[in-house]
Amino acid sequence: MSAAAVFEGRKNGPVFNDAPKVLPVGLPEGAEPRSTMSGIALLDTARKGTQAEDLENKLRRLVVGQDEAIHQIVKTYQTHLAGLSPVGRPLGNFLFLGPTGSGKTRVVEATAEALLNNPRAVIKIDCAEFQHSHEISKLVGSPPGYLGHRETHALLSQEALNQHHTDAIRISFVLFDEIEKASDALWNLLLGILDKGVLTLGDNRKVDFSSAMVFLTSNLGATEMSSLLTPRLGFHVPSPENAVSNAKLSARVSDAGIAAARRKFTPEFINRLDKIVVFKSLGNEELRRIVDIELEMVQERIQTAAAGKPFLVNVTDSARECLLMEGTDLRYGARHLKRAIERLLVQPLSNLMASGQIHRGDCIRVSHAEGSPSLTFFRETEAWDVAA
């Protein structure tokens, strides 16, 4: 076929002359296959399966304002479900950068919570605790023959990695915190995991990380990032006019974080990462949503602690506003907020429970009077029906 004819064909529809001729299975010898293709459908690669969508929705309910991290985790999960994860390496290697208290650890815990129903189903390695080479034996166990060899349980054994697997979910979540503080020995171990998905224990057994999502966190570049953000500190009202400048600022902050990582870490490390995600510093709007999430968690704690004597806590808008004001220090992200909730709400509630001032079925209304440094608690007796 001439080039012109091919072009003609393309104008009228696709040409498949260059496709290899494959005889359909079961066709009698000598028979000419007839095309049954009646059209072409454009496929939608953005659509996800229900399980991945489910994970995304749950993560969005638990983690505020860190959509890029959620997107990366969901993408990795979807690839795993499809059975298309790369062979011989972890399911995903992620470096999370960004300010303290912005959700780097929380997003990993939330993934374990969403998939395994247990936010603690994460193996956390605090790299600062493994500064010296001899401390590495806590991670990989000692070689046979060493004193205490049998007593050392490697933190990163296969059993430890698989301990939270369920019939439905066979994924391990491994988090290395503050990797910039890792010793050379830990660093080499880490490179092996990221590259080959394998770790060799002290007694030469191999640990397979190919069903693990590996998360690395670091506060690297946080100072540069926060100096870019300094004018943002304080209460700001998002508006369509500053949405564009906010997006530009976010991009600059993200670039600053990635540049700091590239300066500090070797290319061989950076090349083993699937994605570097720079977490955004949380603004007033995000913190407001986190107050709601944290208050739901306090209610869950009450349900568990007061199993025999459940009661409800109704935190009014004025009290929520007070918690937000008291807990807003943008340098510390949501950490400061959590402390304010513990101090102003949880501790007084504990006193009320311990001194018998709260009864089964009570509704405790918590409000705030302007100018007061604390919250006020009222009992609304038997305001709700306690299920048997």
| 104 near ligand ATP (CB under 6 A) | yes
| 106 near ligand ATP (CB under 6 A) | yes
Which residues share a beta bridge with 124? 175
User: Taking the complex as a whole, how short is the minimal distance between the CB of residue 131 and ligand ATP, in angstroms?
Assistant: 18
Q: Give whichever of 80 and 104 is closer to Mg ion, judged by the CB atom.
A: 104
Q: Of 342-381, which residues contact ligand ATP (CB under 6 A)?
A: none
Out of 219, 226, 254, 281, point to the residue binding ligand ATP (CB under 6 A).
219
Q: Phi, psi (5° rounding) for residue 25? A: -60, 135
Pick what 90 binds: ligand ATP, Mg ion, none; C-beta below 5 to 8 Å, kind-dependent.
none
Q: Of 288-347, which residues contact ligand ATP (CB under 6 A)?
A: 290, 293, 333-335, 338
> How crowded is residue 364: how many other Cβ atoms within 10 Å of its Cβ?
21
| SS3 of residue 190 by DSSP | helix
Distance of CA 139 to the CA centre of its chain: 23
Out of 100, 152, 246, 284, point to the residue binding ligand ATP (CB under 6 A).
100
Alpha-carbon distance 197 to 212, whole Å? 8
Tokens 């807003």 label which residue? Answer: 328
Q: Phi, psi (5° rounding) for residue 277? A: -110, 125
Pick what 183 binds: Mg ion, ligand ATP, none; C-beta below 5 to 8 Å, kind-dependent.
none
Of 335, 299, 334, give the one whose Cα is nearest residue 315: 299
- Spatial contact of 178 and 126, defined as CB atoms under 8 Å apart: yes
Binding range to Mg ion, per CB under 5 A, among 98-106, 110-118, 297-305, 310-318: 98-106
Q: Treating both helix axes as pointing N-terminal to C-terminal, what angle do 284-305 and 334-341 enclose, rounded to 10 degrees?
A: 40
User: Taking the complex as a whole, how short is the minimal distance between the CB of residue 177 and Mg ion, in angstroms?
Assistant: 6
List, in order, residues 6 or more apart from 215 with CB less than 8 Å away.
94, 96, 108, 173, 174, 175, 176
Of 219, 274, 334, give the one whose Cα is nearest residue 94: 274
Q: Give whichever of 78 and 219 is closer to ligand ATP, judged by the CB atom.
A: 219
Amino acid identity at 298: V
Reported in sequence order, the residue ranges of the chain that DSSP labels E, i.e. its strands, are: 92-97, 123-126, 172-177, 198-200, 206-208, 212-218, 275-278, 312-315, 363-367, 376-380
Q: Of 125-164, which residues contact ligand ATP (CB under 6 A)?
A: none
Task: Find the residue with minimal CB distance to ligand ATP.
Answer: 103
Pick what 66 binds: Mg ion, ligand ATP, none; C-beta below 5 to 8 Å, kind-dependent.
ligand ATP
Pairing outcome for strands 212-218 and 312-315 = unpaired
Out of 105, 152, 246, 314, point to the residue binding Mg ion (CB under 5 A).
105
User: Taking the complex as a whole, how short is the minimal distance between the CB of residue 208 and Mg ion, in angstroms?
Assistant: 26
Residues in contact with ligand ATP, shown as a per-residue x/- string from 247 to 286 under the rule CB under 6 A = -----------------------------------x----
Q: Of 51-90, which residues contact ligand ATP (CB under 6 A)?
A: 63-66
Binding range to ligand ATP, per CB under 6 A, among 6-14, 103-111, 130-138, 366-374: 103-111
Judged by the rule CB under 5 A, the positions of this chain that interact with Mg ion are 104-105
Judged by the rule CB under 6 A, the positions of this chain that interact with ligand ATP are 63-66, 100-106, 219, 282, 290, 293, 333-335, 338
